[in-house]
């Protein structure tokens, strides 16, 4: 992987971790406000859902570049290297398709929330 893409995926991972921390802090503040003043942050559940989805999406490229996804190699331990590479390529393609589906559905969901006010 090129150095530029590797750095970009690292910064996406850092941004994803930051979004997760901010979402966690927002949830904490909302719970405290709800418990103490009976006044939660409006839309806190939806903001948490979107924040964590965004955080996960931002961290996925770093996991892919580091080959840090969970691998189950029990069935491929005795396979040839070319077979393992081919299966890895199929897995990467499936992951790319999942990213595209996730982006599409997240966009559709965001538009639906926007229309609902």
Question: What pTM did the predictor assign?
Answer: 0.68
Q: What is the pLDDT of residue 74?
A: 75
Do 75 and 115 belong to one domain?
A: yes
Do 74 and 35 belong to one domain?
A: no
Q: What is the pLDDT of residue 92?
A: 84
Listed as ranges, residues in the chain with pLDDT below 70 are 1
Do 117 and 107 belong to one domain?
A: yes
Give the relative orientation of helices 44-65 and 81-116 as an angle to the nearest 10 degrees.
160
Q: What is the pLDDT of residue 106?
A: 85
Structural domain count of the chain: 2
Rounded to whole angstroms, what are the CA distances from 116 to 40, 83, 102? 20, 49, 21
Q: What is the pLDDT of residue 65?
A: 83
Distance CA 52, CA 19 (A): 7
Q: What is the pLDDT of residue 17?
A: 96
The number of beta carbons lying within 10 Å of the beta carbon of residue 16 is 21
Residue 56: φ, ψ to 5°: -65, -45
Residue range(s) defining the domain that contains residue 11: 1-69
* Residue 58 near residue 13, CB atoms below 8 Å: yes
């Amino acid at each position: 992987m090129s150095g530029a893409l590797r750095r970009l995926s690292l910064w996406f991972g850092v941004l994803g971790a930051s979004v997760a921390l901010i979402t966690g802090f927002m949830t904490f503040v909302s719970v405290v406000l709800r418990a103490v003043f009976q006044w939660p942050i409006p839309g806190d559940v939806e903001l948490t859902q979107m924040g964590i989805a965004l955080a996960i999406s931002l961290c996925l490229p770093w996991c892919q570049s580091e080959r840090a996804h969970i691998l189950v190699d029990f069935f491929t331990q005795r396979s040839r290297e070319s077979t393992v590479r081919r299966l890895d390529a199929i897995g990467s393609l499936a992951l790319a398709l999942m990213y595209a589906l996730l982006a599409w559905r997240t966009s559709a969901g965001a538009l639906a929330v926007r229309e609902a006010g």
